[in-house]
Amino acid sequence: MYLAVLVTNCVIFYIKILQVSSEINYFGVAFSPYVRSDGALWNSYSVEDIKQMLRIILTYHNSVATYGMGVSKWNNGSPWDKADSNCLIARAAAQINRERGSVVLSISQGIYQNHDDGLQKREIENAFLAAVDANGIFPGTVYNLIFTNEFVTDSSNGPKVLKMIQQNKARAHAAGLRVGTRIHTCGEIWKGGNQNIIKQIVRESDFIMCNLYPPKNSGNIDAAIQGISDAYYSARDGFWKENSKIEVMIGETGWSSAGENFYNPAKYNNINNLKLFWEAMRKWSQYHRVKVQMFEAYDEPWKSGLPGERTFGWWKRADDNSQYYIEKTTGKRFY
């Protein structure tokens, strides 16, 4: 199947739309729709905006992981699909699947953490509603619920994640959904302050996503891949001691295309290294048959902090926020 994408000077690129297969689904991507740099409101991205971005993602990926339902104080009590635009990803994917006549996009629906118990309950409820909506449009679109992101950090937050999974597991399974979490403390399955709670979470979960990035000062791509591989298999072996049936995935890994980030100085962060790292992780995921969600589909120029935190994307929105996207490694425009 091919999708025609118009670019400048009336040139047409025909992009092959990958059909779902076990192989390509090993190499997925994390996605949030907040790609503008002009202060656009969090709820200003429409289903059609998101479908445009997802169709571009389909050039290389069939599996997408999201982060939340966009619940906040300002929209609490509104219909689930009137929150921040993250809430619309599953619906957009389901509509694409319906158009294609098969599950070309599978969604792991994120549920973000909130210290307000009422808002947290709303976030969870909205995730169920979004999954039911999407799977009603096209069955099988949403298959995972990810309870929180990097929230298993201490003796206060870890038990909250466990409780969410325990309280919602039966409902999820009844709806054909799996439950798990995405954490950056996977290594603590062997030792550390979160070891006991991680063990409990693993016993209750269908899957777990480990956020694994290259070691600090990574200038060598091969060494970075080996470090991630070693960390993955160490954590997986620990998890399997607690639950032999749990699927262990890489929930995030990535490389900035410019600027200092949390693990690398700016001198190692460039487009060529991003390209080499993504290519190497794709080969690794397929060879090891491990699902990986690359971080991330698109640059997030709105982010504060280190400049490299804004440049993890494979694509980016046009610099003037026009309605097209640029593949950073080739310079091609996607409409």
pLDDT band at 303 (very low <50, low <70, confident <90, very high): very high
pLDDT digits 0-9 by tens, 175-224: 999 999 999 999 999 999 999 999 999 999 999 999 999 999 999 999 99
Long-range Cβ contacts of 229-233 (<8 Å, 24+ apart): 229/284, 229/288, 231/186, 231/187, 232/290
CA angle 53, 57, 61 (to 5 degrees): 155
pLDDT band at 25 (very low <50, low <70, confident <90, very high): confident
pLDDT band at 145 (very low <50, low <70, confident <90, very high): very high
Q: Is the pLDDT of residue 93 over 70?
A: yes
pLDDT digits 0-9 by tens, 234-285: 999 999 999 999 999 999 999 999 999 999 999 999 999 999 999 999 999 9
CA angle 27, 165, 178 (to 5 degrees): 40
Which candidate, 284, 220, 285, places its Cα nearest to that of 255? 220
pLDDT above 70 covers what percent of the chain?
Answer: 93
Q: Is the pLDDT of residue 226 over 90?
A: yes
Query: What pLDDT, on the 0 to 100 scale, is given for residue 8?
Result: 40
pLDDT above 90 covers what percent of the chain?
Answer: 93
